[in-house]
Amino acid sequence: DIVVVFDITESMGPFIEGLKEATIDFADRLAKANRDYRLGLVTFEDYVVRQDTVFTRSAREFKSWVGALQAAGGGDIPEDSLDALVVASRFPFRPEAQAVVILITDAPNHFRGDGSEKNNPYGREVTQLMADDVIAELKKANLSVFAIAPPPFVAPDLHKIAQATGGRHYNIVSEGRRFPELIGEIGRSLASQYFLTYVSPRPVEDGTRRAVTLKVTYQDGEGEAQIAYQVRGVGGARMVTPSSVPGAPPAGSAVSYGWWNLVVPLLACAGLLLLARVRLNALPAEVLSRLASASGLASPGPTPSTSGPVTPEKPAPYARLVRQSPIDEVPREIAFSRDEILIGRGEECDVIIPHASISREHARVKKLKPGHVLFDLKSKNGTYVNGRPIGENLLKDGMTVRIGEVEFVFYGANRQV
């Protein structure tokens, strides 16, 4: 069940035409993926215009709704997207359906206390809502919001709503030119994405690190992915099974700890400190100085990373960039598992590289007929292939790619290194 929440102020005219183009393709993707879909529409400017909470199963009927839209008005910059999202949350979503809202606007939102009553002819604020109020309503309806909206520093509330509901935020400023493609990308995501919830069979905080393996088998193919997570708590915790003896007092907690869970670690720490002090005092001053220097104790600054270049250990079924620069906070490998990947420092990017030399939206990789093509997005520090600055470049096996100051090597799919 998908509700499109659309800003119909004058500046959104081109996007209305783009939505008309993309609607049929969007619905076709869902139908081909055997998705039982329904579409709804909410429109807004400084107030909610269309608020009929009805769904249609016909892409053509939905297109007729969009075709009837007229872009007009919008004297001030912010619009009433928060109230429009609340209207969307009140649609009759099916309990068994994946519920999605697609918000499309080029303006930030009004919010309670923003002073909008000064420009309102009725002398009152446009909305009484805050972002957290809307998030609560959306979560109550179990909705995910895909927001095609201004960047986070312009519309932080809309970015927050998309993040909090498990959706995604697309920057309409930099991505607006490919608006129909964005709608198609969201359609592909909904047509191919499954949401899984994992409930641990060991609901106890025992301080262990646990691995989860997901294995998918379909027809003649199969795939496997693994992830590990750290459980908080003290090692040695145990489950308390409620007593079945009549009249026995109920257990106060599902988990209990023995006194030794606290005493043993404390004794071990004290012993290690004492041993370290005895051993270090027996060492010559020159050795102590070298130890301090090696461990970073002699310098209050951060310890530089010493990790070297990385090469893939085995071939992978996808092309990828493998990091060569000794910068541990940068991903070890950037896998081209999709047809298009945005690389940069901003939260809206598909691959986030947290390095000062990387622009917010630095580069884009597209899979085209000749192969993977790397595009520089007018970044501050540039993108280089084999040491030469590029605007766009077809990537081939073994090419050196430098994004900002971070160097990678490109390896094609199933390439043995």
Exposure string (b/e) for 234-254, b if CB count within 10 Å is 16 or more? Answer: eeebeeeeeeeeeeeeeeeee
Exposure string (b/e) for 60-89, b if CB count within 10 Å is 16 or more? Answer: eebbebbeebebeebebebbbbbbbbbbbb
What is the model's pLDDT at position 124?
84
Q: What number of H helices and E strands is found in the chain?
A: 9, 21
What is the model's pLDDT at position 413?
79
Q: How are beta strands 363-367 and 340-344 bridged, if at all? A: antiparallel
Fold of 2-192: Rossmann fold (3.40.50)
pTM confidence score:
0.49
Query: Any idea what DSSP says for residue 351?
Result: E
pLDDT per residue as tens digits for the range 87-143: 999 999 998 888 899 999 988 999 998 888 887 777 788 899 999 999 999 999 889
What is the model's pLDDT at position 176?
66
Answer left, alpha or beta for residue 404, where phi above 0 means left and psi between -120 and 50 means alpha. Answer: left
pLDDT band at 66 (very low <50, low <70, confident <90, very high): confident
Which two tokens mark 136? Answer: 């609560």
What is the model's pLDDT at position 132?
94
What is the model's pLDDT at position 35?
73
Task: Tell me the C-alpha distance between 47 and 83, whole Å.
Answer: 8
- pLDDT above 70 (res 337): yes
pLDDT band at 314 (very low <50, low <70, confident <90, very high): low
- Average pLDDT of the chain is 78
3-class secondary-structure state, position 103: strand
Beta pairing partners, 148 = 104, 170
Taking residues 144-158, report their average pLDDT: 91
Task: Tell me the C-alpha distance between 414 and 316, whole Å.
Answer: 5
More confident residue, 89 or 262: 89
What long-range pairs does 411-417 form, CB within 8 A, spacing at least 24?
A: 411/312, 411/316, 411/319, 411/320, 411/321, 411/322, 412/319, 412/371, 413/316, 413/317, 413/318, 413/319, 414/315, 414/316, 414/317, 415/312, 415/315, 416/314, 416/315, 417/311, 417/312, 417/315
Which of the residue ranges 120-129, 335-344, 354-363 would you say has the lowest mean pLDDT? Answer: 120-129
Write down the domain spans for the chain.
Answer: 2-192, 320-411
- pLDDT above 80 (res 350): yes
What is the model's pLDDT at position 300?
44
Dihedral through CA 259, CA 260, CA 262, CA 266, nearest 10? 140
> What's the angle, vertex CA 277, arms to CA 274 and CA 283, rounded to 5?
145
- pLDDT above 50 (res 306): no
pLDDT per residue as tens digits for the range 206-232: 778 888 898 989 888 898 888 888 887
Query: How far does Cα 407 stand from its chain's mean position?
Result: 24
For 315, phi then psi, to 5°, come to -65, 150
Fold of 320-411: Tumour Suppressor Smad4 (2.60.200)
Please report where in the chains the tokens 């964005």 appear, as a residue.
182
- pLDDT above 70 (res 236): no
Query: How far does Cα 58 stand from its chain's mean position?
Result: 31
Task: Tell me the C-alpha distance between 274 and 279, whole Å.
Answer: 9
CB 373 within 8 A of CB 392: yes
Identical topology for domains 2-192 and 320-411 = no
Which two tokens mark 372? Answer: 């993977």
- pLDDT above 70 (res 265): yes
pLDDT band at 304 (very low <50, low <70, confident <90, very high): very low
What is the model's pLDDT at position 192?
65
3-class secondary-structure state, position 380: coil
More confident residue, 267 or 309: 267
